[in-house]
């Protein structure tokens, strides 16, 4: 049914339609509305049978999900930012043990300085944790990806993280089509675990493995992600057949045929990028965009095929690998091995800094003239940085950066940005 | 945020595309919050905050002299301020000259809310006034959105309050037109 709905509630309803049997979560902005709504639906019996565990931390949330999944239950959790970092050790256990848990990540910056707004620092920090990572562009896609995520997770027996931009998606009201239970049931069969803790037939899950076999077990995790690379587009195609809309998959291209410049990005920023691309196309600029929907597994061949004929690639990313720059762009570079083209990394939107069409237009025009540096920072207020560097150079005891900068720009508390 | 949400639902009820989203500051009651709503005939892709609005609703007039609320608003823009005072009394007389007088109105939304809801919650009241001021959504759609969000007597009271504000602004517009 089509509805004007908040992203968080839409996702919660999609998760409910997937018939989770155990939900364990700890609230954190901007994920809170999702788990609040789910806990309500468990309380009222809308999701039944299901146990909602209000745990004492994110570490406990993931640990409970691991236990539930190993016992044969369809398990779900959600978190963001510091919450994800707090569950890191358990994240690796979930993937290492091959437990098909689905988690929503409401993407948010990582402190310090503490910041509740959106960027991709949290999910990017766990890109190599062994989880499949999918990135939603819209709330419709976030909703659809959750249904696909359970199917993918359970078929390859790996956990899946569905990343949706915090606030920008989670708190936005937009039109969504929420499927019927029977439609979801036909795409998502009952969970049949590959491994099961059963007192009647005891097994060990998570045995210690020495040098004689660790490598092989680890390699299998990679092999399973490579299987997921085939499965993700298959499930997206099946989904399209059933629901009549394209959601998920490995990647999506926009006006890339004959494009000299292609912009690569993940998540909700694609909408604004497409607006800028359309304007430039109207002016005769040959530009297109590529939305990476699956970051793990990373679709090397598909990215290579989509970008290989371009003259330049601009990778716009919402995370900064301090000391080197881009994360996504390094992966894109791997896909383009041996191909000569200009590659630009643009760090944008950190801590909720708005990414505007106007700034994107200027950026893409500069890219077209090959005036970008290898590493660029979109709308970074350089004069503020310069002034703080001057204070630092003036002597020891210059104090905390964040406090100095807030005083410098005259902000005593967070305001519209 | 509730006002932007309800406005987007009202537009959706009319078969149009709408997108409402907030910017959040510190999470405390009373902190300044900006919310945005885009309404269009075609699907909305942009996710950037609105910097050049067609219309502006000011829920809290005490912000008028703290933040430049009118930045980006064109001369043909609509402004609806929650106040029982006029633009002159708010110290905005000079500023108001830039705009078309029939598009620049105040409505005592907090007072209307107190009267009908018993609490100073001006969201739905302002939407009723906004519906009259801009015609962007009908008062019937605003009422539908309110009933979608709230239930029972709360919905009824909010609908009456919104209709009340709608009539109030209709009268104001008629007066502005008579003086023009």
Q: How confident is the model at residue A29 (pLDDT cuts 50, 70, 90)?
A: very high
Residues of A in contact with B20 (CB under 8 A): 172-174
How remote is the C-alpha of A339 from its chain's centroid? Answer: 28
Q: What is the pLDDT of residues A189-248, one digit of tens each?
A: 999 999 999 999 999 999 999 999 999 999 999 999 999 999 999 999 999 999 999 999
Chain B interface includes A384 (CB < 8 A): no
**To 5 degrees, how large is the angle CA A118–CA A139–CA A251?**
85
**To 5 degrees, how large is the angle CA A357–CA A359–CA A363?**
110
Q: What is the pLDDT of residues A46-76, one digit of tens each?
A: 999 999 999 999 999 999 999 999 999 999 9
Q: Hey, is B100 helix, strand or coil?
A: coil
Domain limits for position B113: 2-179
CA B34, CA B2: separation in Å to the nearest integer? 11
CA A149, CA A202: separation in Å to the nearest integer? 29
Contacts of A109 (CB under 8 A, 6+ apart): A81, A115, A116, A117, A118, A119, A121, A122, A350, A351, A352
CATH number for the domain including B164? 3.40.920.10
Q: How confident is the model at residue A412 (pLDDT cuts 50, 70, 90)?
A: low
pLDDT for the residue A234: 98
Confidence check: pLDDT of A257 > 70: yes
Residues 79-138, chain A, touching B (beta carbon < 8 A): 116-117
pLDDT for the residue A52: 98
B36: left (phi over 0), alpha (psi -120 to 50) or beta: beta
Question: What does the H/E/C string look like for chain A?
Answer: CEEEEEHHHHHHHHHHHCCCCEEEECCCCCCHHHHHHHHHHHHCCCCCCCEEEECCCHHHHHHHHHHHHHCCCCEEEEECHHHHHHCHHHHHHHHHCCCCCEEEEEECCCCCCCCCCCCCHHHHHCCCCCCEEEECCCHHHHHHHHHHHHHHHHHHCCCEEEEEECCCCCCCEEEEECCCHHHHHHHCCCCCCCCCCCCCCCCCCCCCCCCCCHHHHHHHHHHHHHHHHHHHHHHHHHHHHHHCCCCCCCEEEECCCCCCEEEEECHHHHHHHHHHHHHHHHCCCCEEEEEECEEECCCHHHHHHHHCCCCEEEEEECCCECCCECCHHHHHHHHCCCCCCEEEEEECCHHHCCCCHHHHHHHHHHHHCCCCCCEEECCCCHHHHHHHHHHHHHCCCCCCHHHHHHHHHCCCCCCCC
CB within 8 Å: A357 and B46? yes
CB within 8 Å: B45 and A268? no
Contacts of B113 (CB under 8 A, 6+ apart): B119, B120, B121, B122, B124, B125, B161
Question: Averaging pLDDT over each range in A258-272, B23-37, B96-110, which range is the top one?
Answer: A258-272
Chain B interface includes A356 (CB < 8 A): yes
Going A268 to A273 to A279 to A282, the CA torsion angle's sign is negative
Q: How confident is the model at residue A188 (pLDDT cuts 50, 70, 90)?
A: very high
Mean pLDDT of chain A: 96
Confidence check: pLDDT of B180 > 70: no
Q: How confident is the model at residue B29 (pLDDT cuts 50, 70, 90)?
A: low
Q: Which of the two residues, B63 and A342, has the higher pLDDT score? A: A342
First-residue to last-residue Cα distance in chain B: 34
**Same structural domain, A373 and A390:** no
**Same structural domain, A282 and A200:** no
CA A108, CA B40: separation in Å to the nearest integer? 29
**Same structural domain, A183 and A307:** no
Residues of B in contact with A417 (CB under 8 A): 23
**Same structural domain, A221 and A111:** yes
**Same structural domain, A270 and A401:** no
Q: What is the pLDDT of residues B62-91, one digit of tens each?
A: 888 777 888 899 999 999 999 999 888 888
Placement of tokens 């009241």 in the chain = B125
What separation in angstroms does the CA of A71 have from each of A205, A230, A266? 10, 28, 34
**Same structural domain, A32 and A103:** yes
Count of domains for chain B: 1
Count of domains for chain A: 3
**Same structural domain, A89 and A208:** yes
**Same structural domain, A90 and A51:** yes
CATH number for the domain including A259? 3.40.50.920
What separation in angstroms does the CA of A112 have from each of A91, A109, A269, A417, B133? 22, 9, 24, 19, 45
Query: Which of A184, A219, A243 corresponds to the end of one domain?
Result: A243
pLDDT for the residue B100: 87
Chain B interface includes A363 (CB < 8 A): no
Angle between helices B139-149 and B123-134 (to 10 degrees): 160
**Same structural domain, A69 and A173:** yes
Confidence check: pLDDT of B44 > 60: yes
Q: Which of the two residues, A148 and A409, has the higher pLDDT score? A: A148
- The nearest CA of chain A is from the CA of B52 a distance in Å of 12
Q: Which of the two residues, A184 and B25, has the higher pLDDT score? A: A184
First-residue to last-residue Cα distance in chain A: 35
Q: What is the CA radius of gyration of chain B?
A: 16
**Same structural domain, A225 and A312:** no
Confidence check: pLDDT of B24 > 60: yes
pLDDT for the residue B99: 85
pLDDT for the residue B64: 82
CB within 8 Å: A175 and B26? no
CA A131, CA A96: separation in Å to the nearest integer? 9
**Chain A, nearest residue to B12 by Cα:** A4
CA A281, CA A41: separation in Å to the nearest integer? 46
Chain B interface includes A413 (CB < 8 A): yes
Domain limits for position A395: 384-417
Average pLDDT over residues B127-142: 97
Q: How many CB atoms are located within 10 Å of the residue B131 CB?
A: 25
CB within 8 Å: B46 and A275? yes
Q: What is the largest CA-CA distance in chain B?
A: 45
Taking the model in full, what pTM does it have?
0.96
Q: How confident is the model at residue B33 (pLDDT cuts 50, 70, 90)?
A: confident
Strand order in the sheet with B78-82: B55-58, B78-82, B104-107
- The nearest CA of chain B is from the CA of A12 a distance in Å of 18
**Percentage of chain B modeled with pLDDT above 70:** 96
Q: Hey, is B140 helix, strand or coil?
A: helix
Residue to substitute from B2, B6, B27, B48, interface A, most A β-carbons within 10 A: B48
Residues 32-51, chain B, touching A (beta carbon < 8 A): 32, 34, 44-49, 51
Q: What is the pLDDT of residues A171-186, one digit of tens each?
A: 999 999 999 999 999 9
CATH number for the domain including A22? 3.40.50.970
pLDDT for the residue B179: 78
pLDDT for the residue B27: 57
**Same structural domain, A233 and A358:** no
Chain A interface includes B142 (CB < 8 A): no
Q: Are B116 and B164 in contact (CB under 8 A)?
A: yes
pLDDT for the residue B96: 80
What separation in angstroms does the CA of A132 have from each of A56, A162, A286, A298, A416? 26, 8, 33, 9, 34
Q: Name the least confident of A13-17, A319-323, A336-340, B98-102.
A: B98-102
**Same structural domain, A91 and A117:** yes
Residue to substitute from A2, A4, A416, interface B, most B β-carbons within 10 A: A4
- The nearest CA of chain B is from the CA of A415 a distance in Å of 6
- The nearest CA of chain B is from the CA of A354 a distance in Å of 6
**Percentage of chain A modeled with pLDDT above 90:** 98
Q: What is the pLDDT of residues B93-128, one digit of tens each?
A: 887 888 888 899 999 999 999 999 999 999 999 999
């Amino acid at each position: 049914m089509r509805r004007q709905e908040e992203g968080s509630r839409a996702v919660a309803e999609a998760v409910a339609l997937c018939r989770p049997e155990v939900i364990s979560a700890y609230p954190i902005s901007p994920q809170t509305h999702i788990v609040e709504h789910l806990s309500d639906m468990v309380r009222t019996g809308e999701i039944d049978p299901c146990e909602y565990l209000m745990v004492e931390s994110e570490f406990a949330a993931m640990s409970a999900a691991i236990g539930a999944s190993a016992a044969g239950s369809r398990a779900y959790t959600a978190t963001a930012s510091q919450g994800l970092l707090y569950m890191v050790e358990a994240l690796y256990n979930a993937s290492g043990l091959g437990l098909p848990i689905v988690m929503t990540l409401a993407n948010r910056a990582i402190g310090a300085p503490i910041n509740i707004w959106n960027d991709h620092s949290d999910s990017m920090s766990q890109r190599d944790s062994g989880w499949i990572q999918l990135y939603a562009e819209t709330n419709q896609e976030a909703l659809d990806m959750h249904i696909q995520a359970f199917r993918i997770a359970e078929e390859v027996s790996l956990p899946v993280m569905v990343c949706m931009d915090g606030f920008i998606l989670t708190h936005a009201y937009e039109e969504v089509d929420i499927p019927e239970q029977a439609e979801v049931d036909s795409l998502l069969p009952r969970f049949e675990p590959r491994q099961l803790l059963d007192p009647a037939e005891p097994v060990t899950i998570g045995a210690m493995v020495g040098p004689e076999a660790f490598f092989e077990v680890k390699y299998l995790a990679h092999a399973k992600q490579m299987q997921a690379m085939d499965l993700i587009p298959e499930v997206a195609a099946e989904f399209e057949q059933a629901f009549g809309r394209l959601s998920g998959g490995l990647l999506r291209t926009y006006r890339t045929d004959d494009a000299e410049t292609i912009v690569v990005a993940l998540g909700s920023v694609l909408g604004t990028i497409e607006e800028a691309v359309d304007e430039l196309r109207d002016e005769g600029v040959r530009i297109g965009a590529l939305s990476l929907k699956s970051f793990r597994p990373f679709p090397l061949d598909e990215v290579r095929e989509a970008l290989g004929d371009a003259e330049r690639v601009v990778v716009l990313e919402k995370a900064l690998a301090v000391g080197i720059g881009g994360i996504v762009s390094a992966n894109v570079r791997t896909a383009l091995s041996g191909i000569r083209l200009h590659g630009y990394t643009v760090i944008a939107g950190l801590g909720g800094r708005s990414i505007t069409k106007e700034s994107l237009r200027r950026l893409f025009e500069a890219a077209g003239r090959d005036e970008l540096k290898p590493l660029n920072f979109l709308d970074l207020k350089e004069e503020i940085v310069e002034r703080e560097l001057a204070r630092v150079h003036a002597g020891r005891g210059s104090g905390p950066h964040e406090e100095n900068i807030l005083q410098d720009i005259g902000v005593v508390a967070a305001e519209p940005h | 945020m509730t006002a932007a949400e309800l406005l987007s639902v009202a537009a959706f009820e009319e078969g149009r595309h709408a997108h409402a989203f907030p910017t959040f500051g510190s999470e405390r009651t009373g902190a300044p919050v900006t919310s945005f709503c885009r309404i269009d005939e075609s699907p909305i892709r942009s996710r950037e905050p609105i910097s050049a609005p067609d219309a502006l609703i000011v829920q809290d007039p005490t912000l008028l002299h703290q933040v430049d609320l009118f930045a980006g608003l064109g001369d043909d823009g609509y402004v609806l301020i929650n106040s029982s005072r006029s633009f002159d009394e708010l110290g905005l007389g000079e500023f108001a000259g830039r705009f078309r007088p029939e598009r620049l109105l105040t409505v005592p939304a907090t007072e209307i809310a107190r009267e009908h809801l018993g609490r100073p919650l001006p969201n739905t009241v302002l939407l009723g006034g906004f519906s009259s001021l801009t015609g962007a959504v009908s008062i019937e759609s605003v009422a539908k959105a309110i009933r979608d969000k709230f239930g029972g007597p709360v919905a009824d009271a909010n609908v009456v309050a919104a209709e009340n504000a709608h009539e109030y602004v209709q009268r104001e517009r008629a007066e502005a037109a008579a003086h023009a």
